Amino acid sequence: MNPGIVFARTDKGREELASRKYHLQGRRRLALILVDGHSDLSALHGKAAGFDDLEAVLEGLMREGFIAPVADGPEPLPVGIPDTAIAPVKERLIAAAEQVLGDQAGRIVRILQEAPDTCEGLEQAVIRCKKLMELVIDEDKAAELKRRCLNILATL
Amino acid sequence: MSMNVVFAVEFAAVLAMFYALYMAVSLKGEMQGGIIGRNWTFLVSLVGLFAAGYVAMPFLGRLSSEVLQLVVAVIFLFGAVYVVVTINLIRRIIRILSE
């Protein structure tokens, strides 16, 4: 697959995220969450470290009509639709950060608290937290928190 | 050259280096670890060493020429190490931010 390819969610993909109508689970749902209409395939690999079969999962999602390649380049950054189901997920992310970081969690918790209440907003906040932690807190804890957060986001 | 000019330049250098040391130590509290935190401790140590060297500058003239050459060479070495560590740190920060 071309590493520069950009995928966007189709109406079906957005419907699945909002209502779970098609019952996507685990890694397939996580891959759908990661697709944002402006990150290319190599950027998606960066966001999903350890997601070895990402391309295969994306191809499956494309075949089933949840995502489609963006023909005319990346879409503008998504505004996202606030989702009331997001709030408890955000609380779980914050709890995970507090568990992993203990009394070092302050800045990370603040980033998560201030994240927009959308799938994309939380995903971006998690990535930002991971980068900040790698730089100024602890690389191992950054990887651990990212793993936990992606598992939590996969339950959306 | 007038000794007053030399003294003024040395004094300015010492002030600037102590300001750098103050900033470096202040920022340390923001970094408990990670890539920057680990390197920062080393960089602060080097800044401290340079600050001490700058303060000792007026007394270096009392050393023999061999010792003085050695001191200058050591300062050059640590200066080069400082630059290498800083550039490497910037490279790693760019890599992480580009992921």
Instruction: Domain ranges for chain B, please list them.
Output: 3-98
Q: Name the residue with tokens 């999903």.
A: A48
Q: What domain range is A26 assigned to?
A: 7-69
| Structural domain includes residue A74 | no
How many structural domains is chain A composed of?
Answer: 2
Please count the other Cβ atoms lying within 10 Å of the Cβ belonging to residue B74.
12
Judge whether residue B99 has pLDDT over 80.
no
pLDDT band (50, 70, 90) for residue B74 = very high
On whether any CB of chain B is under 8 Å from the CB of A137, the answer is: yes
Q: Which of A131, A137, A138 sits opposite B96 (nearest CB)?
A: A131
Integer Cα distance of B54 and B33 in angstroms: 29
* Pair A17, A144: CB distance under 8 Å: no
pLDDT number for residue A77: 46
* Pair A108, B4: CB distance under 8 Å: no
Query: Taking CB atoms and an 8 Å cutoff, what residues of chain A touch B36?
Result: 135-136
Closest to A130 (Cα-Cα) out of A151, A154, A150: A150
Distance from CA of A21 to the nearest CA of B (A): 32
List the beta strands (DSSP E) in A2-151: 7-9, 67-69
Question: Of A33-37, A93-97, A145-149, which range is least confident?
Answer: A33-37
Q: Name the residue with tokens 């098609």.
A: A22
Of the three residues A35, A69, A103, the one that is the final residue of a domain is A69
Q: Which of B33, B97, B99 sits opposite A137 (nearest CB)?
A: B33
Judge whether residue A83 has pLDDT over 60.
no
Please count the other Cβ atoms lying within 10 Å of the Cβ belonging to residue B71.
14
Distance from CA of B89 to the nearest CA of A (A): 10
Distance from CA of B87 to the nearest CA of A (A): 15
| Structural domain includes residue A34 | yes
Q: Which residues of A, range 69-128, sit inside 8 Å of B by Cβ?
A: 104
What is the pTM (predicted TM-score) of this model? 0.60
| Structural domain includes residue A76 | no
| A30-69 CB burial, b ≥16 within 10 A, e <16 | bbbbbbbbbbbbebbbebbeebeebbebbebbbeeebbbe
Residues 6+ apart with CB under 8 A from A122: A86, A89, A90, A93, A112, A115, A116, A153
| Structural domain includes residue A16 | yes
Judge whether residue A84 has pLDDT over 70.
no
Query: Taking CB atoms and an 8 Å cutoff, what residues of chain B touch A131?
Result: 96-97, 99
pLDDT band (50, 70, 90) for residue A81 = very low
Do A63 and A87 belong to one domain? Answer: no
Across chain A, mean pLDDT equals 83
| Structural domain includes residue A131 | yes
Do A93 and A54 belong to one domain? Answer: no
A vs B, Cβ pairs < 8 A, gives 35
Do A149 and A93 belong to one domain? Answer: yes
Looking at chain A, how many residues does it have?
A: 156
Do A141 and A106 belong to one domain? Answer: yes
Secondary element (H or E) of residue A125:
helix A119-136
